[in-house]
Amino acid sequence: MSETVVWSFPTRILFGAGSAVRVGEELKALGSKRAFVVTDAGVRGAGLVDPIVESLKAAGIESVVFDGISSNPLEAEVLAATEAYRNAKADGVVALGGGSPLDVGKLVRLAATHPLPLAQYDDAIDGWQKITKPVPPMVAIPTTAGTGSEVGRSGVVTIQATNRKVVIFAPRLLANVAILDPKLTETMPPRITAATGMDALTHCIEAYCALGDHPMADAIALQGIELCGKHLENAVHDGKDLEARGAMLKASMMGAVAFQKGLGACHSLAHPLSAEHHLHHGLANAVCLPAVLDFNRSAVPEKIARIAKLLGARGENVETLAFECSGAVRALRKKIGLAEGLGATGVPEDGLPKLAKLALEDACHRSNPRACTEEDMLALYKASF
Ligand SMILES: [Fe+2]
């Protein structure tokens, strides 16, 4: 008998300009009476929290706001948020922001109901098997378009003792409802729009190329790639373009739905760049993606040719198209104003061997279509320099 595979597609998703005001009725329908709103100071400063709190109030839900989340969440922040959740006697979570507040929202639900330390749930050691109890309901509202964390079943946290970015991955961590409101991403600055958008594109590309049989993920990933190819540039250059903003929210959400299939070497290269050198996660992916596409070309030429076409390359010859794919990504990266190599981001060249070791320890490359050694990781960093 052949192996059985699992295809999941469970989140309720609301989409539309202005749809964030539906948060109160959605959380109420999930049975919550006291909400813990997880966000960061930037989102709060942009005035995006008050309408959420008002919507909750209108639905009869009291709320406590926690905004102590940094851009690469630390274990200590998750634990502080969990304590605040308990002190608030909350019974539901609203996570509002970029990937970080959304991830922390999920991890608060984990830490409030399961034993610590968080490191034991690391996906690299199959920690999901220990996530066995129900967690409180959560509504996720993204204010960036990149991680797709609102429909993802993972949270990323840096464990300070080891300085490693750990991915905690479990179906129970999925948000119950995601609300995609393009209006909330209007004020995102061009640089963040570009970096987060490249993260979304990388998710779609890596999921599509990943090992495994998942036709739903593949189809969703392909559509996500097409949306990024058509709309990322416009979203960067005109923040008020709600069609482009909406398209990038869709692509971001689709990337995260698709990467339940798996990611690849690019994310394994990106994670140590953030943990060691504090590079923005999307920028780290954008810098490494072309070299990874070239590396994977021999393993999945048809897939890489198809990606190239979706990003604007012409012709029918598979080999030629696959060859052009990395160039298409470089061209897009240039048009949206991101760094064109690791050197330009300030990462020192003599630090690459250590990064290569860490990249190999990261779990994401296990589903890369071509197996990677430490030497491969080092060569990929050098090719991305
Ligand atoms: Fe990512």
The CATH number of residue 324's host domain is 1.20.1090.10
State the distance from the centre of ligand 1 to the C-alpha of 202, rounded, in angstroms.
Answer: 7
Number of domains in the chain: 2
Model confidence, pTM: 0.93
- Report how far ligand 1's centroid is from the alpha carbon of 365 (Å): 13
Compute the distance from residue 242 Cα to the ligand 1 centre, in Å: 23
Residue span of the structural domain in which 153 resides: 12-185
Q: Is residue 7 part of a domain?
A: no
- 203 C-alpha vs ligand 1 centroid, how far in Å? 6
pLDDT surpasses 90 at 214: yes
Measured in Å, residue 70 CA sits from the centre of ligand 1 at: 17
Ligand 1 midpoint to CA 282 (Å): 7
- Whole-number Å distance, alpha carbon 59 to ligand 1 midpoint, is 34
Residue 315: pLDDT over 90: yes
**Is 309 part of any domain?**
yes
CA of 239 to the centre of ligand 1 (A): 22
pLDDT tens figures, 171-195: 999 999 999 999 999 999 999 999 9
- For residue 316, how far is its CA from the centre of ligand 1 (angstroms)? 30
Whether residues 164 and 277 fall in one domain: no
In a domain, 35, yes or no: yes
Q: Are residues 257 and 131 in the same domain?
A: no
Do 63 and 138 share a domain, yes or no? Answer: yes
How many A from CA of 24 to the centre of ligand 1?
Answer: 29
Residues 181 and 269 in one domain: no
Quick check: 6 pLDDT over 90?
A: no
Ligand 1 mean position, distance from CA 146 (Å): 7
Predicted local distance difference test score (pLDDT) of residue 10: 82
Q: Would the pLDDT of 81 be above 80?
A: yes
**pLDDT above 70: residue 1:** no
* Model pLDDT, residue 164: 82
Q: Is residue 3 part of a domain?
A: no
260 and 274 part of one domain: yes
Of 160, 185, 210, which residue sits at a domain end? 185
Confidence grade of residue 260 (pLDDT, cut at 50, 70, 90): confident
Give distance in angstroms: CA of 57 to centre of ligand 1. Answer: 34
In this structure, the answer to whether residues 124 and 253 fall within a common structural domain is: no
Would you say residue 1 lies in a domain?
no
The answer to whether 195 and 164 have CB atoms below 8 angstroms apart is no
- Domain co-membership, 250 together with 372: yes
Q: How far is the CA of 165 from the centre of ligand 1 (A)?
A: 12
Tens-place pLDDT, residues 270-284 = 999 998 999 999 999
Distance (Å) from CA 261 to ligand 1 centroid: 14
Domain final residue pick, 185, 205, 226: 185
Find the 310 Cα to ligand 1 centroid distance in Å. 20
CA of 206 to the centre of ligand 1 (A): 10
CATH assignment of the domain containing 40: 3.40.50.1970
What is the mean pLDDT of the segment spanning 100-114? Answer: 97
Q: Are residues 112 and 38 in the same domain?
A: yes
Ligand 1 centroid distance, CA of 278 (Å): 14
Compute the distance from residue 29 Cα to the ligand 1 centre, in Å.
31
Give a yes or no: residue 5 inside a domain: no
Q: Same domain, yes or no, for 28 and 45?
A: yes
The answer to whether residue 17 sits within a structural domain is: yes
Gap from CA of 18 to ligand 1 centroid (Å): 26
Q: From the CA of 147, how far away is ligand 1's center (Å)? A: 6
Q: Are residues 222 and 174 in the same domain?
A: no
Of 145, 169, 185, at which residue does a domain stop?
Answer: 185
CA 6 / ligand 1 centre spacing (Å):
22
Read off the pLDDT of residues 125-160 as tens digits, 9 standing for 90 and up.
999 999 999 999 999 999 999 999 999 888 989 998
Q: Are 213 and 141 contained in the same domain? A: no
Surface-to-core class of residue 273, CB atoms within 10 Å of its CB (0-12 exposed, 13-18 middle, 19+ buried): buried
Judge if 159 and 285 occupy the same domain. no
At 5 the pLDDT is 76
In a domain, 4, yes or no: no
